[in-house]
Amino acid sequence: MPMAIEYRDNPDLGNEALNALWATAWNTPHPRDFQPILSRNLAHVGAFAGTRLVGFVNVAWDGGIHAFILDTCVDPEFRRRGIASALLERAKTLASERGAEWLHVDFEPHLSGFYRGLGFAPTEAGLIRLHD
């Protein structure tokens, strides 16, 4: 039987837990300091299997009515269990409760069905990479 997943709003997350998740979910072995990001966001949600962080979503914002979904990720060992959907549903609720009127998300084309299934409408957007 799969381990129960607990969702926590704005959990106190250290760099160690987030870097461990990033290493498995994004195959990114380069550690980062997440504290500046967490200290400025509108909200974030963590998914936990016991004490282990297995999923995460960040809700950034412009300080006004626009919020932005960033860094949605789930440990590959825990995928296909609805964790990402649950994280995003909670993120939508938190953004609304905290005054956001619009919730934006950028995603790669292969994820369009997933995000449309959660109520996100397609829009035109632009992107430029500033650093390699």
Please write the tens of the pLDDT for every residue from 82-106.
999 999 999 999 999 999 999 999 9
Tally the residues of the chain.
Answer: 132
User: What separation in angstroms does the CA of 20 have from each of 5, 26, 30, 52, 71?
Assistant: 18, 10, 10, 10, 14
When comparing pLDDT for 39 and 127, which is higher?
39
- What is the pLDDT of the chain when averaged over all its residues? 94
Residue 122 confidence (pLDDT): 87
Mean pLDDT of the region 49-69: 96
Per-residue pLDDT at 1 exceeds 70: no
Planar angle of CA 51, 68, 18, nearest 5 degrees: 25
Over pLDDT 90: what percentage of the chain? 84
Strands of the chain, DSSP E: 6-9, 43-49, 52-61, 66-74, 102-105
- Round to whole Å and give the CA distance between 106 and 126: 10
pTM: 0.92
